Amino acid sequence: MTYHTKLNHLGMNRISISKKKKQQSPQIEGSGSGMATITVTRENKLSLFPLLSLLCFTSIFILLSQFKNTSSSSSINTFSSIHTFQIDNKNNNFASCDYSHGKWIYDDSRVSRYDNTCKEIFKGWNCIKGNKSNGLELAKWRWKPNGCNDLTQFDPLHFLNDYTHTSIGFVGDSLNRNMFVSLFCTLRSSISDGQVKKWRPAGADRGFTFLTYNLTIAYHRTNLLARYGRWSASENGGALESFGFKEGYRVDVDVPDSTWARAASFHDILIFNTGHWWWAPSKFDPVKSPMLFFKKGEPVIPPLRPDQGLDMVLEHMISYVEERARPGAVKIFRTQSPRHFEGGDWDQGGSCQRDRPISAEQVEELFSVKNNGTNVEVRLVNEHLVKALKGSGFDILNITHLSEFRADAHPASAGGKKHDDCMHWCLPGITDTWNDLFVEHLNSIKHRS
């Protein structure tokens, strides 16, 4: 099945837009490329904007088809930066606490801080409106870390008061948008109407300022962090041509996507992710449309595999941010969010029809690198992140393991597609807990200084 037929199932809108803008290049139809999208947005910012967000969602979902990986099964370093970070502060709960490890407890008294009426919730993620059978129960599960106090739901009004004159940038793919929406809805719920300005700070896809507090949050959409676009062989030949490449994607490992290039120096707090678009063979087909890596404007020879390209991109993007970040800026990298396709991948009838979290044994069965299952990429991506971030000024926000239990928290068939969405998360839902962890982490840094 080619990428195009998959797309026809799910993304009619996207095809018609691309055709209008890029008639001469039929392959761009299926690309969802950051560059193509930027061009379109510039030309017609206002009217296309909601549609593009939708496309972003659809395309990520589509592109995660046979997301399999063959890299080594070396073990991941078991550290949580929150833990190591606070090791000196004996009075702080963080000193003795690793929030990444624990269990989920059902708590009927727990209530979500926002509901299904929050307008930022993307339709496919609104599981209460989508009538998901456990949509209302999702927020009742509480993460209980091992060996430390409960992770509490942060108080949005306290947060607004504590973080005045602060700007927070989420940079990454639709899973970072999912986390951004959760933070927006939580903060929005605590204030009255008319105190929020919607705008696009520093090239963001979307952003808001809570005016009374001068707190800004923004989402910068980028799939690979690095800039990329279509590439075709030149008639005059060249290094890549001599390897037999005819078509592909040029990925500039040392150039950030323009959607976030200015974000690095704009925000006081930055939270990055990438991972879902790497090894997405329906887009970056190893034969028909491979990733071709460029550095300093020249092709990297010999050509790299995507996992090697990821290492190079991470290295360059991390130093790009470190060189430009504001003095005292908090730089965070979020670990990979797990998918929960069972019984096949998304395009093979895979589903996630569960109404409660899965057990620790089931988690290992689904995600251990050794088992090489449908969703194996999550821990593999983390290995690359850990390697690249070692020695950097970034903190790691490790949400992977706690999310691995939550096969019940994806939109599944309530996502309104022909296929189950076992990748994004329902809202309200688990990314609320990611933000609790995020805020806990920010507070621990604030109190340390």
Ligand X SMILES: *[C@@H]1O[C@H](CO)[C@@H](O)[C@H](O)[C@H]1NC(C)=O
Reading the block at residue 360, the tokens are: 């620790």
CB of 230 to ligand X, least distance (A): 27
Decide: is 396 part of the binding site for ligand X (CB under 6 A).
yes
Ramachandran bin of 305, using left for φ above 0, alpha for ψ from -120 to 50, beta for the remaining angles: beta
Span near ligand X by CB under 6 A; candidates 221-229, 358-366, 396-404, 405-413: 396-404
Q: Judged by CB under 6 A, which of 9, 101, 200, 250 binds ligand X?
A: 101
Give the nearer residue to ligand X in terms of CB position, either 238 or 344: 344
Q: Return the residue of 167, 274, 337, 431 that touches ligand X, per CB under 6 A.
A: 167
Nearer to ligand X, 18 or 274 (CB): 274
Structure tokens at 283: 């887009």
Q: How far is the CB of 165 from ligand X (least distance, A)?
A: 4
Inter-residue contact 191 to 160 (CB < 8 Å):
yes
Cβ(345)–Cβ(374) under 8 Å? Answer: yes
CB 218 within 8 A of CB 181: no
User: Which residue, 254 or 345, has its beta carbon nearer to ligand X?
Assistant: 345
Q: Among 398, 403, 431, 433, which residue interacts with ligand X (rule: CB under 6 A)? A: 398
Per-residue binding letters, 179-198, with ligand X (x by CB under 6 A): --------------------
Which CB sits closer to ligand X, 400 or 433? 400
CA–CA gap between residue 110 and residue 415 (Å, rounded): 25
Q: Chain centroid to CA 322: how far?
A: 20
Which parts of 75-94 interact with ligand X (CB under 6 A)? Answer: 76, 78-80
Residue 271 gets the label, from left (phi > 0), alpha (psi -120 to 50) or beta, of beta
Residue carrying structure tokens 């004996």: 90
**Exactly one of 176, 335, 351, 413 binds ligand X (CB under 6 A); which one?**
335
CB of 395 to ligand X, least distance (A): 11
Stretch that binds ligand X, among 74-82, 180-188, 284-292, 438-446 (CB under 6 A): 74-82
- Taking CB under 6 A as the binding criterion, the range among 12-20, 31-39, 279-287, 398-406 that sits at the site for ligand X is 398-406
Amino acid of residue 387: K
- Region 242-301 residues binding ligand X, contact defined as CB under 6 A: 268
Gap between the Cα atoms of 445 and 395, Å rounded: 11
Contact 55, 247 (CB under 8 A): no
Determine contact, residues 340/352, Cβ cutoff 8 Å.
yes
Does 386 contact ligand X by CB under 6 A?
yes
CB of 25 vs ligand X, minimal distance in Å: 31
Only one residue has tokens 């940079």, namely 171
401 touches ligand X (CB under 6 A): yes
130 touching ligand X, by CB under 6 A: yes
Collect all residues with Cβ–Cβ distance below 8 Å to 150 and sequence separation of at least 6: 142, 143, 144
Of the candidate residues 9, 68, 103, 140, the single one contacting ligand X (CB under 6 A): 68
Size of the residue set binding ligand X (CB under 6 A): 25
Does 178 help bind ligand X (rule: CB under 6 A)?
no
Using the rule CB under 6 A, is 100 a contact of ligand X? yes
* Binder of ligand X out of 216, 259, 435, 444 (CB under 6 A): 216
Out of 31, 400, 403, 435, name the contact with ligand X by CB under 6 A: 400
Give the shortest CB-446-to-ligand X separation in angstroms: 15
- DSSP codes, 194-235: T-EEEE-GGG-SEEEEETTTTEEEEEEE-SSSEEEEEEE--T
Q: What contacts 24+ positions apart, CB below 8 Å, involve 295-300?
A: 295/252, 295/253, 295/254, 296/254, 297/252, 298/239, 299/238, 299/239, 299/240, 300/253
User: Cα(78)–Cα(408) distance, rounded to whole angstroms?
Assistant: 26
| Contacting residues toward ligand X, per CB under 6 A | 68, 70, 76, 78-80, 98, 100-101, 130-131, 165-167, 214, 216, 268, 335, 372, 382, 386, 396, 398, 400-401
